[in-house]
Each structure stands twice: as structure tokens, then as C-alpha cells.
Amino acid sequence: MKYIFFIILIALILALSGCGQRVEQKEVTRTENENQLIGKLAPDFKLKDMAGFEVELSQYRGKPILLVFWATWCPHCRVEMPEINKLYRSFKENVLVFGINVEDEESRILKFISDYPVSFPILPDKDGQVARLYKVNSIPTVFFIAPSGVIKDVNVGETSINTIENWLKPYAKEVKANGRSN
């Protein structure tokens, strides 16, 4: 009887902890897929934001862009999204941020952004097509795209805010100095 209880208890703990979902550890390394994209032109896509407005990535060349691939079930996203939002509010005149939600239902996305408000656009990737285009294998994953449209860096797993600041600071200074970004 103890053995059966123990098995049921373990199964319940695993079910409640989200075992089987693609939850990543804090220290995650890029796969060869993400490395292959660095230095290449960011794949273009069109998605509608939560208000129904279409966003086409190529329209935003000229500014640095962060693409944040996330999901409502991801515990690291709950930590990362509010931090990225703080950075976005600091850099929003010079940098664009798009939160690309991977395959969640709209009701779950709305609940998440109600609990963790963000100022940047959320783009539902309902069928995961954009995530596949960017070869995203783990959530969260953040892509840094230079004003030229070239992917400069990728971070898989919870991204340090210092890392993102280091990506953005040179461009924010350049924009302030020149009045525009190159």
C-alpha cells in the first residue's frame, strides 16, 4: 500500500510541476540552430498583435529589435517579462521589443499580461510558425536584431538584464548622438 501511495504521490508532483513541458534551466546554451542564425538577416514575418494590428518585421529596419519568444506556462518568462518591460520603458525611444507568444490560447495570454503587464506589443504565434522560422527550441529565447536587420545575438533560457542592456546601450548612445540609428 505504501508503494502505491508513493507512486501516486510522485506522479502528482510531476504533473503539477509541469514535467514534460519545455521549461528550461537558467543556464541554457544555444543550440547549433540558434548559432546558425547569428550574422544573418532576420527572417521576415507577419503576425497580428493582441489588438489585431499586423506587424511585419521588415517594416522596422533602422532600429534595434528584441524578439522575445515566450509562453504562459514558462516560469522563467514570469521572471523575465517584467524585467524586459522595465528595460523597454527605459529604451523605448530607441529600441523595439516584440513579445512573440508561442502557441498559447488568447485567453491564457490575456491572463498572463494581466498578471505581468507589459508595454511592448505581444504577437501571438498561434501555430508556432515564426518560432520554427527562428529555430526556437526552448522557451524563453531572445533574439537581438541590429538596425541593419541582421541577428547579432541570441540568448536561450532566462536572459540576464545586464546582457540585454549591453546589447542595447551602444545603439541608444548612437541614436542620441546622431538623432537616428544606422
Domains and CATH numbers, the chain: 24-178 (3.40.30.10)
Average pLDDT across the chain, whole number: 82
Question: Which of 3, 7, 24 has its CA nearest to residue 15?
Answer: 7
Q: Give the containing element (helix H, strand E) for 77.
A: helix 75-91
Average pLDDT across each block of 10 residues of the chain; the chain has 182 residues. List them in order.
48 40 40 75 97 96 96 95 93 93 96 95 97 96 96 93 89 53 40
pLDDT in tens, 140-154: 999 999 999 999 999
Q: What is the pTM of this model?
A: 0.77
Residues in CB range of 177: below 8 A, 6 or more apart: none
Residues 152-170 have pLDDT tens digits of: 999 999 888 899 999 988 8
Residues 84-108 as b or e (16 or more Cβ within 10 Å = b):
bbebbeebeebbbbbbbbbebeeee
Residue that is written with C-alpha cell 524585467 in the block:
83
